[in-house]
Amino acid sequence: MSYLETGYLTLEDIRLPSEERLLKGPVAVIECVQQIPCNPCVASCPRGAITMGDSINNLPVVDFEKCNGCSICVANCPGLAIFIVDKSYGENKALVGMPYEFLPLPEKDEEVDLLNRQGSQCGTGIVRRIRNSKSQDRTPVIFIEVDKDLAMDVRFFRRKL
């Protein structure tokens, strides 16, 4: 069944980095599938790692080798459709960076409930880093330590408070 019917994406809808690339370090995963006139992701990437071809309606494509996972594009995407996945983070753990526009922000080392693309809880994780500079225009990026096998499933979180 397509995401148009279910309302959520599956891994088959998304262009993924290779496992080899994921194990090298942080990288952007773009989960943007609707052809709309939008390109802040392309404009914001300092490494020119995101391209879109000659139409602003095209879907963005990440060059996973150029991307260093800086997360600038995550904060600049109005669709909250970009995530950072780092499977080099630990032996059994990965770090997943995601946009978060709710207040109050979680705190470093806080345990949170992890949610998948369907909005279902899929485990718990620990907030390890919060990137929230003025240049991010009120879209902080929260990096959460998760079990490595959940790195491609976790796409949101809920505070336990």
Provide the binding-site residues for ligand SF4, judged by CB under 6 A: 28, 30, 32, 38-41, 44-45, 47, 49-50, 60, 62, 67-73, 77-79, 81-82
∠ CA 91-94-96, nearest 5°, is 170
Chain centroid, CA 7 distance in Å: 18
Q: Shortest gap between Cβ of 121 and ligand SF4 (angstroms)?
A: 26
CB nearer to ligand SF4: pick between 97 and 110: 97
Q: Shortest gap between Cβ of 79 and ligand SF4 (angstroms)?
A: 3
19 φ, ψ to 5°? -60, -35
Q: Shortest gap between Cβ of 133 and ligand SF4 (angstroms)?
A: 14
CB nearer to ligand SF4: pick between 110 and 151: 151
CB nearer to ligand SF4: pick between 86 and 110: 86
CB nearer to ligand SF4: pick between 82 and 151: 82
Q: What are the residues whose beta carbons fall under 8 Å from the beta carbon of 18, sequence distance 6 or more?
A: 64
CB nearer to ligand SF4: pick between 82 and 112: 82
DSSP state of 92: S
Q: Shortest gap between Cβ of 30 and ligand SF4 (angstroms)?
A: 5
CA-CA distance, 125 to 9, in Å (whole number)?
22
Q: What are the residues whose beta carbons fall under 8 Å from the beta carbon of 38, sequence distance 6 or more?
A: 32, 56, 78, 79
Q: Which of helix, strand or coil describes residue 128?
A: strand
Q: Shortest gap between Cβ of 39 and ligand SF4 (angstroms)?
A: 6
